[in-house]
Every structure is written in C-alpha cells, then in structure tokens.
Homo-oligomer: A and B are copies of this chain.
Amino acid sequence: MIPGMAVTPTAPGAATPDDRALPLRERKRLRTRRTLAETALRMFTEKGFDATTLEELVEEAEVSKSTFFRAFPAKEAVAIEAETQLWAAYVAALEERELSGVVLVELRDALTRAAVALDPDWDRRYVATRRLILATPALLAYVDHHRTGVERQVVACLTGKLGLDDDDLRPQVLAELATTAWSVAARRWVREEGRAGREVLIRRLHGAFEAVPASLDLSASQASPAPSASLEPPASRA
C-alpha cells in the first residue's frame, strides 16, 4: 500500500495494513475476521440484522459457517466488533498500568487512552454499529451482556490490584460509573454522526465523568435546575 493513498479502495475488507510482522496464519485469521465484520456491518445496515441470515453473510464473505463460528461466538458478536475493540482496549489499558490516586480518574484515563489508540476507521464503524444496535433488540441485549462482562473484568482487575474484598461494592460502582459516562458521552456524539472528531468525544467523556459525583445528590426539589457539577454535597463524603 502506498502511504499516500490512505483511503480504502472499496474492496470488501481486504484493504487493511495487515501488520507484516505477524506470521502468515495470523494475518489470514485477522483478515477473515475483518472481512466478516465489515461485510456484516454493511449487510445488517442494509437489510437489517434479523432479515440477514448467517448463510447469506458467510456466502458474501466467502467463508464457511464453520469458519465464522471459529472467529465469532455468535451472530450478534460480528455486528458489534467496533464495540468489542473499544472495550478490549479499555481493559487492556487498565491492566497494563499501575494504579495511583483516585480510581475513578484512573478509569477515565484508561478509557481515554483506549479511545485515542483505536484505528482511524473506528469512528465510522462505531457510529454505524451504534445505529444498528439501537434498531435491533437482539443486539441491544447482546451489548448489555457484553458491557457487564467488561465491568466484571474491571472489577476483578481493581479488586486484585487494590487487594480488596470480594464483597466490596466500590469497584463495582466505579466500573459502572465509567461505562455509563462513556454511554452518555457517546450517545450524543453518535447522534451528530461523529462529524465532530474523536477529540470532541473525549472532551464529552471527561465532562460526563466530572458530572458523576453530583448525581448522588439529585433530589426532587432542586431537580431540573442543576445539570452541571457545580455544587458540592452538604454532608456526603468524609
């Protein structure tokens, strides 16, 4: 590939850099995986997730059903590759670093690092994926489960690194706050078609994280007026 012509020449998924370093087998594996994910995203978007059978998909991608299930555990999984990549990077970013200071900030930064490290094409795929998910109950269920799985990993990581008790609810709460902050930030970003660049997404993410502490103090009387994280709680924390 000539470094100058960065854009994909419209071939179904085969137009990726394919890290030359890896053994040939691995490269093929990855290419098959990418082709499947790309084909799936296109077909599901065009025809709908339910209306597209697995058989149609594997025929279009020119692999067998067996191969599909060696690459993905379920039909749903191939549709949410972009999600999967993000959260895998998040968990990896968290695990590879030592913890110091406020944990919620650590989570925010791990998520930030994960987001900036994703390949340039990720933006487009993520937006399309989110759209698809919102229109497809089966995918909604699948991402719910996937998200919970990520949170479990984060909890395990935190519990381990901090030497906490298994019944401690704090890592659980923090893990959920982090994913929720992402959800809220990403929702608006996706709504704007991701026209705004990834920096905007990350800025929104940080904004969401800052708004989290104020959530606890939401009460019925002063409800709508205070959407920003301005006021500090009366007697909340030690």
* Residues of A that sit less than 8 Å from B by CB: 99-104, 106, 140-141, 144-145, 147-148, 161-165, 167-174, 176-177, 180-181, 183-184, 187-188, 208, 211-221, 223-224, 227, 229-231, 233, 236-238
11 A-B pairs besides A144-B148, A163-B224 with CB distance below 8 A are A100-B220, A101-B219, A167-B187, A169-B211, A170-B218, A170-B229, A172-B183, A173-B215, A176-B180, A216-B216, A217-B237
Contact across chains for A102 and B218 when beta carbons are under 8 A apart: yes
Q: A230 with B168: in contact, given A214-B237, A214-B238, A237-B216 (CB under 8 Å)?
A: yes
- The distance in angstroms between the C-alpha atoms of A227 and B176, with both chains bound, is 18
CB <8 Å contact, B167 and A188: yes
Which are the 4 A-B pairs with shortest beta-carbon distances?
A: A162-B223, A173-B215, A170-B215, A141-B145
Partner of A220 from the list B99, B212, B236 (CB cut-off 8 Å) is: B99
- Closest-by-CB residue of B relative to A162 is B223
Q: What is the copy number of this chain in the assembly?
A: 2
CA–CA, A176 and B177, complex, Å: 8
CA distance A144 to B211 in the complex (A): 25
Q: Which of B169, B187, B236 meets A181, CB within 8 Å?
A: B169
Contact of A164 among B174, B187, B223 (CB under 8 A): B223
Identity of the chain B residue whose Cβ is nearest the Cβ of A225 in the assembled complex: B163
A2 CB to closest chain B CB (Å) equals 43
Contact at B180–A230, with CB atoms within 8 Å? no
Pairwise interchain contact B174-A176, C-beta atoms closer than 8 A: no
